[in-house]
Amino acid sequence: MIRSPDHQGTSLAVDGEGGPRAAREDVDRGRRTGRRRVFTGTLTADLLLGDVHSLKGKRAVVRPIVAELRRRFSVSAAEVDEQDLHRRAVLGVATVAGDAGQVTDVLDACERLLAERPEVTLLSTHRQLFSDTDD
Q: How far is CA 37 from CA 10, 42, 62, 98, 132, in A?
A: 19, 17, 33, 6, 6
33, 37, 41 from 27: Cα distances, Å: 10, 8, 17
Task: Give me the domains of the chain, ranges plus CATH numbers.
Answer: 1-36 (no CATH), 37-131 (3.30.70.1120)
The string of pLDDT tens digits covering residues 110-131 is 999 999 999 999 999 999 999 8
The Cα–Cα gap between 11 and 133 comes to: 20
Q: Tell me: the pLDDT tens digits for 77-100?
A: 999 887 788 899 999 999 999 988
**What is the pLDDT, as a whole number, of residue 64?**
94
36 or 13, which is more confident = 36
Phi first, then psi, for residue 2 (nearest 5°) are -95, 140
What is the per-residue pLDDT for 121?
92
